[in-house]
């Protein structure tokens, strides 16, 4: 059978600051009709660039230097724009990571769906509309007759991404390039989108290139997987063979399930409570409560993981603890002493003992300050250290976070993401805190870098006996490092306890949904899950766990 | 050393800009030395064409135009620079304060600025200047105040954007006060757009002074200023004499020079270089 797509000797250069850098180095790639190819790798592996090159396209600043890209007998490299335009959308479609950013916010979904078929003259407007509704129905979008007439902001993130997949199918293309289509989604919504993509690829025999950094996700969809690193192929194999038997060390690393923590001795002592949150209710507007009656205790040297999906209120809880958002009701005690609800009325010592590390190391460090100033300021501010003492302590901190001392004179922009996050950790450590709130500290990082950060945090905890409140949506991280787990949903704590208690059945319904939605390194995981959910064998169904109205029936705080 | 390397790596356009500005500044500083005649000395007939004695001809009173241009650089550039600097000082401090403190401070300052901006600037300036008189001090303060409203708007918006970034939050959580947040966290990051705006506003101030001079409320004769010179000689155009084009050209020349530098600075400071 001839190849539907055949890429050979592909070289792509990126130009920045008058320097060119090769970002794709001699990639070969083939795709048969109806086949799904997974491209796996960390950021900078060149996977998105290859995905776009498969359409004969290169981003601004990038240039396809040499190679050949043959699609269905037609050479795309060097083909005139006119010829490419006939293929794009009609025969090769693209689904981007952020559906929210890819849809035009000013047009209704169905109008954007119809654009490609009309443009290519494949359907009449009526046909395209019918077609859209049909596709929405097939992808299990709610109310398929009407959902197309909504604007992009009027549907949820998961629905929008499915609408995007539907749109890619509007011309029934031969190939769809999926570029991390579920990365920005919560695990429970991710399952829906994965199901939609699986449906498309099996039902219409559409070939696909699926790009992701998450091997477990790719394993659900791909027939064949290519592992990429620095623009080169590391390993290519049949999906099942690769998962069962990875040949290269790098693939093995990506595959290895994180398991860092041995279960600690969690015997409770009365006097080791660091943070005690009692009945906290919080609201941004004064009307809708984002947090409802939260009770939480963090003990010395413990790692308490706060798990929940976006909108569950976990970051809000961090804001309440730090005093950025005074709660409507409830009290917070730090080592037995009540903390003022407002940041401004807390004293320096209270501030010093409670530090925070953020999700995006890029924005958490002032780009105009050198590392010396970033780390030196808390030392000066809290401990009044002079220049020499500071210098010494900064070097100590840099060693502690496993970075060379020479970084002291650098700006944050001169560091990689992982290194920046290490600096953020050092900034928190500089204050000698007793509790560090880690707000999604690894979600912006590549898997292996994230693992390094988790290792570091854990080592520091063992060494310094500092407590962590570890906010995350990633259950794999939780499983790896938590001592205790708190599960949040819609502003309430649905379950809390030690890791063992939470992870061993029976689960609370929502915990069950969360746990079952985390993709596993098993190619049959998605099929089994969907079957189980369909037949009703699984106890839970998405969106049915907690009836929408139930939150309103809870007792309201006065005022 | 770093500054020297920085200059050496500057592109051609920026060097041209710097040359233009330097020529103007040199002319302004050295005016009494290099000017062939006295500032308001009548040396010949009215609107004489270019000659060896009068390289650019003479103006409507028979004063040497080149001399007037050189002295005009002195008055106009120094004044425009002073006004722009003052308006940036006021505007950015208030803008940053409004953005960092927020709430009432922001409301009060923003509404005040709204009121100021509700008046057409020229009419407002005319009104105030005719009440307090046309002294240089009054001119500086009034134009700077009017101009600072625009700077306020810009710096407030920029500071708002920066203020929501996590490193500012981190500073607040550390317990830092408003002054630190403003000067250490926000200001360095707000600098690129502010500097670009500085170049632009400098040119506007320049033109505004010219406009006021045109109406007789700016720099008072016989002191030379480029805007005033355009006005005084405007009539010559109808006779096909291009005397008023010289001061107008000087304004354009300096404006282009300043903007060339600003463009380059913006390019470097915004990190476009790193790609």
| CA dihedral sign of residues A153, A138, A31, A220 | positive
Domain annotation covers residue B123: yes
Q: Is residue B90 part of a domain?
A: yes
* Distance (Å, whole) CA B94 – CA B182: 11
Let me know: does A526 contact A198? Beta carbons within 8 Å: yes
B162 falls within a domain: yes
**Nearest chain A Cα distance for residue B268, angstroms:** 11
A437 touches chain B (CB under 8 A): no
Judged against a pLDDT cut of 60, whether residue A16 lies above it is answered with yes
CB A502 within 8 A of CB A482: no
Query: Which residues of chain B make contact with A378, given a CB cutoff of 8 A?
Result: 174
Would A60 be classed as within a structural domain? yes
Which pLDDT score, from 0 to 100, does residue B58 have? 80
Q: Count of residues for chain A? A: 559
> Higher pLDDT residue, A559 or B62?
B62
Shortest Cα distance, chain A CAs vs residue B186, angstroms: 9
Residue A262 contacts B where some CB pair is shorter than 8 Å: no
Contacts 24+ apart (CB under 8 A), A543-549: A545/A489, A545/A509, A545/A510, A545/A513, A546/A489, A546/A490, A546/A509, A546/A510
Q: How far is CA A324 from CA A64, A282, B184, in A?
A: 49, 11, 21
Task: Write the CATH number for A32.
Answer: 3.40.50.300
Residue B220 has pLDDT above 90, yes or no: no
Q: How far is B176 from chain A (nearest CA, A)?
A: 8
- Which residue range(s) make up the domain with B243? 11-274
Selected residue of A21, A323, A349, A366 to mutate for chain B interface (largest B Cβ count, 10 A): A366
pLDDT band per the 50, 70, 90 thresholds, residue A532: confident
pLDDT category at B2 given cuts 50, 70, 90 is low
Q: How far apart are CA A346 and CA A362, in angstroms?
A: 28
A359: closest chain B residue by CA: B166
Per-position DSSP letters for B52-118, written without gaps between them: SSSTT-B-TTSBBHHHHHHHHHHHHHHHHHHHHHHHHHHHHHHHHHHHHH-HHHHHHHHHHHHHHHH
State ipTM: 0.76
Q: Is residue B6 part of a domain?
A: no
Work out the minimum CA distance from A202 to partner chain B, whole angstroms.
41
- Domain of residue A165 covers 5-255
Residue A260 has what pLDDT? Answer: 55
Question: What is the mean predicted confidence (pLDDT) over B233-240?
Answer: 80
Q: Bridge partners of A24? A: A12
Question: By the 8 A CB rule, do A176 and A145 touch?
Answer: no
Q: Is residue B69 part of a domain?
A: yes
Judged against a pLDDT cut of 90, whether residue B156 lies above it is answered with yes
Question: Chain A residues with CB inside 8 Å of B188's CB?
Answer: 366, 368-369
**Structural domain count of chain A:** 2
| A320 and A180 inside one domain | no
- Alpha-carbon distance B103 to nearest alpha carbon in chain A (angstroms): 15
Asked if residue A261 is part of any domain, the answer here is: no
Contact A76, A70 (CB under 8 A): yes
Distance of CA A367 to the CA centre of its chain: 24
List the single residue in A16, A365, A431 with the smallest CB-CB distance to B167.
Answer: A365
- What is the C-alpha end-to-end distance of chain B, expressed in Å? 25
Helices A187-203, A525-535: crossing angle, 10 deg rounding: 100
* Same domain flag for A351 and A242: no
**Interface contact flag, B174 A356, Cβ < 8 Å:** no
- Residue B173 C-alpha, separation from nearest chain A C-alpha, in angstroms: 7
Can you tell me the mean pLDDT for A416-423?
88
Residue of B162, B167, B185 to mutate, testing the A interface (most A Cβ within 10 Å of its Cβ): B167
pLDDT digits (tens, 9 = 90+) for A62-110: 888 888 899 888 888 888 888 888 888 889 999 888 777 888 889 999 9
The answer on pLDDT for A240 being more than 50 is yes
Which of A255, A286, A317 terminates a domain? The answer is A255
**Is residue A398 located within the same domain as residue A531?**
yes
Are A237 and A101 in a shared domain? Answer: yes
A308 contacts A473 by C-beta, under 8 angstroms:
yes
DSSP class of residue B42? B
Tell me how close the Cα of B183 comes to any Cα of chain A, in angstroms.
Answer: 12
B62, burial (CB in 10 Å: exposed 0-12, middle 13-18, buried 19+): middle
CB neighbours of residue A280 within 10 Å: 22
For residues A156 and A239, membership in a common domain is answered with yes
| pLDDT value of position A377 | 92
CATH of the domain at B26: 1.10.3720.10
Inter-chain residue contact A378 with B273, CB threshold 8 Å:
no
Chain-chain contact of A16 with B275 (C-beta, under 8 angstroms): yes
| A322 contacts on B by Cβ (under 8 Å) | 173
CB distance A381–B273 less than 8 Å?
no
Q: A-chain residues within 8 Å CB-CB of B274?
A: 16-17, 413
A15, A177, A551 from A59: Cα distances, Å: 11, 15, 47
% of chain A at pLDDT higher than 70: 92
Region A41-54 average pLDDT = 86
The answer to whether residue B112 sits within a structural domain is yes
For residues A250 and A339, state if they share a domain.
Answer: no
Give the domain-ending residue among A199, A226, A255: A255
Average pLDDT over residues B152-169: 92
Based on the domain organization, do A232 and A286 belong to the same domain? no
Considering the domain boundaries, does residue A549 fall inside one?
no
Closest CA to B246 of B44, B63, B109, B90: B63
Phi, psi for B118 (deg, rounded to 5): -70, -30
How many beta-carbon pairs under 8 angstroms link A with B?
Answer: 53
Q: Which residue of B has its CA nearest to A344?
A: B175
The answer to whether the Cβ–Cβ distance between B170 and A358 falls below 8 Å is yes
Do the Cβ atoms of A17 and B271 come within 8 Å? no
Inside any domain, residue A172: yes
pLDDT in tens, A186-223: 888 888 888 888 888 888 888 999 998 888 888 888 99
- Residue A280 contacts residue A330 (beta carbons within 8 Å): yes
In this structure, is residue B256 part of a structural domain? yes
Please tell me the predicted confidence (pLDDT) of residue A557: 38
What are the pLDDT digits (tens) for A420-465?
Answer: 999 999 999 999 999 999 988 888 788 788 888 888 888 888 888 8
Find chain B residues with C-beta within 8 A of A323's C-beta: 173
Does A119 map to a domain?
A: yes
The per-residue pLDDT for B199 is: 83
Is A61 close to B275, i.e. CB distance below 8 A?
yes
Identify whether residues A286 and A192 lie together within a single domain: no
User: Does B270 score more than 70 pLDDT?
Assistant: no
The rounded mean pLDDT for chain A is: 84
Q: pLDDT digits over B9-61, tens only?
A: 778 888 898 899 899 888 888 888 887 887 777 777 777 777 777 778 787 78
Residue A268 lies in a domain: no
Q: Which residue of A has its CA nearest to B178?
A: A344
Closest CA to A515 of A187, A270, A236: A187
* pLDDT, mean of residues B51-72: 82
The predicted model gives B131-140 an average pLDDT of: 86
The structural domain count of chain B equals 1
Contacts of A305 (CB under 8 A, 6+ apart): A470, A471, A472, A477, A478, A481, A482, A484, A485, A486, A499
Question: Chain B residues within 8 A (CB-CB) of chain A?
Answer: 165-167, 169-170, 172-176, 184-185, 188-189, 271, 273-275
pLDDT at A540 over 60: no
Beta-carbon separation of A61 and B273 below 8 A: no
Q: Which of B167, B271, B274 sits opposite A363 (nearest CB)?
A: B167
**CB-based contact (8 Å) between A369 and chain B?**
yes
């Amino acid at each position: 059978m001839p190849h539907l797509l055949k890429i050979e000797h592909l070289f792509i250069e990126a130009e920045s600051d008058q320097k060119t850098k090769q970002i794709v180095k001699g990639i070969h790639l083939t795709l048969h009709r109806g086949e799904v190819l997974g491209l796996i790798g960390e950021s900078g592996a060149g996977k998105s660039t290859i995905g776009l090159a498969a359409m004969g396209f290169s981003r601004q600043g990038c240039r396809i230097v040499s190679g050949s890209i043959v699609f269905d007998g037609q050479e795309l490299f060097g083909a005139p724009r006119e010829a490419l335009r006939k293929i794009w959308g009609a025969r090769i479609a693209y689904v981007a990571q952020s559906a929210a950013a890819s849809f035009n916010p000013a047009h209704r979904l169905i109008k954007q769906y119809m654009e490609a078929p009309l443009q290519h003259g494949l359907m009449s407007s009526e046909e395209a509309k019918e077609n859209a509704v049909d596709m929405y129905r097939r992808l299990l979008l709610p109310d398929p007759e009407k959902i197309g007439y909504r604007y992009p902001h009027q549907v949820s993130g998961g629905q929008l991404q499915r609408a995007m997949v539907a749109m890619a199918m509007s011309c029934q293309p031969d190939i769809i390039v999926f570029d991390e289509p579920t990365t920005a989604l919560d695990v429970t919504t991710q399952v829906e989108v994965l199901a939609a993509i699986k449906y498309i690829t099996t039902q219409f025999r559409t070939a696909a290139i699926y790009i992701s950094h998450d091997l477990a996700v790719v394993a659900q969809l791909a027939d064949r997987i290519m592992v990429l690193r620095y623009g080169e192929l590391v390993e290519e194999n049949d999906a099942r063979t690769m998962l069962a038997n990875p040949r290269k060390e790098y693939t093995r690393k990506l595959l290895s399930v994180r398991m860092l923590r041995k279960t600690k001795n969690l015997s409770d002592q009365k006097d080791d409570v660091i943070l005690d949150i009692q009945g906290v209710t919080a609201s941004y507007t004064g009307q809708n409560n984002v947090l409802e009656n939260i009770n939480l205790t963090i003990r010395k040297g413990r790692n308490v993981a706060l798990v929940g999906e976006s909108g569950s209120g976990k970051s809000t809880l961090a804001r309440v603890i730090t005093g950025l958002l005074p709660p409507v009701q409830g009290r917070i005690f730090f080592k037995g002493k009540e903390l003022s609800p407002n940041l401004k009325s807390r004293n320096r010592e209270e501030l010093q003992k409670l530090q925070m590390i953020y999700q995006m190391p890029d924005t958490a460090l002032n780009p105009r300050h050198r590392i010396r100033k970033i780390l030196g300021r808390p030392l000066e501010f809290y401990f009044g250290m002079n220049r020499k003492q500071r210098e010494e302590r900064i070097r100590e901190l840099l060693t502690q976070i496993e970075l060379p001392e020479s970084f002291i004179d650098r700006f944050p922009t001169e560091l990689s993401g992982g290194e920046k996050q290490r600096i953020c950790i050092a900034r928190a450590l500089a204050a000698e805190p007793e509790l560090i709130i880690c707000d999604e500290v690894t979600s912006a990082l590549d898997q292996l870098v994230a693992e390094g950060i988790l290792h570091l945090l854990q080592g520091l905890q063992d060494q310094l006996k500092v407590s962590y409140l570890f906010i995350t949506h990633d259950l794999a991280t939780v499983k790896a490092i938590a001592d205790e787990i708190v599960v949040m949903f819609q502003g309430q704590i649905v379950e809390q306890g030690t890791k063992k208690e939470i992870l061993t059945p029976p689960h609370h319904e929502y915990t069950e949904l969360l746990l079952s939605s985390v993709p596993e390194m098993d190619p049959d995981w998605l099929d089994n899950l969907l079957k189980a959910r369909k037949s009703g064998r699984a106890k839970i169904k998405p969106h049915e766990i907690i009836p929408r109205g139930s939150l309103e029936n809870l007792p309201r705080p006065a005022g | 050393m770093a500054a020297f390397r920085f200059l050496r790596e500057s592109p051609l356009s920026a060097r041209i800009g710097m040359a233009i500005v330097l020529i103007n500044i040199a002319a302004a500083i050295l005016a009494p030395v290099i000017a062939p005649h006295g500032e308001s000395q009548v040396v010949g007939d009215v609107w004489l064409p270019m000659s060896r004695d009068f390289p650019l001809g003479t103006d409507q009173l028979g004063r040497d135009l080149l001399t007037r241009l050189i002295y005009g650089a002195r008055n106009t550039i120094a004044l425009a620079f002073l006004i722009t600097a003052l308006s940036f000082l006021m505007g950015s401090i208030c803008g940053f304060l409004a953005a960092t403190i927020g709430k009432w401070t922001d409301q009060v300052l923003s509404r005040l600025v709204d009121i100021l901006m509700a008046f057409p600037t020229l009419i407002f300036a005319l009104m105030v200047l005719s009440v307090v008189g046309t002294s240089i001090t009054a001119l500086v303060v009034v134009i700077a105040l009017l101009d600072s409203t625009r700077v306020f708007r810009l710096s407030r918006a920029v500071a708002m954007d920066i203020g929501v970034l996590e490193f500012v939050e981190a500073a607040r959580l550390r317990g830092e006060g408003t002054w630190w947040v403003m000067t250490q966290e926000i200001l360095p990051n707000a600098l690129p757009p502010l500097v670009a705006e500085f170049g632009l506003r400098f040119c506007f101030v320049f033109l505004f002074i010219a406009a006021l001079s045109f109406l007789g409320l700016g720099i008072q004769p016989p002191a030379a200023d480029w805007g005033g010179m355009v006005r005084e000689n405007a009539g010559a155009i109808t006779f096909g004499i291009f005397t008023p084009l010289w001061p107008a050209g000087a304004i354009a020349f300096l404006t282009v020079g300043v903007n060339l530098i600003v463009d380059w600075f913006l390019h470097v400071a915004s990190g476009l270089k790193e790609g």
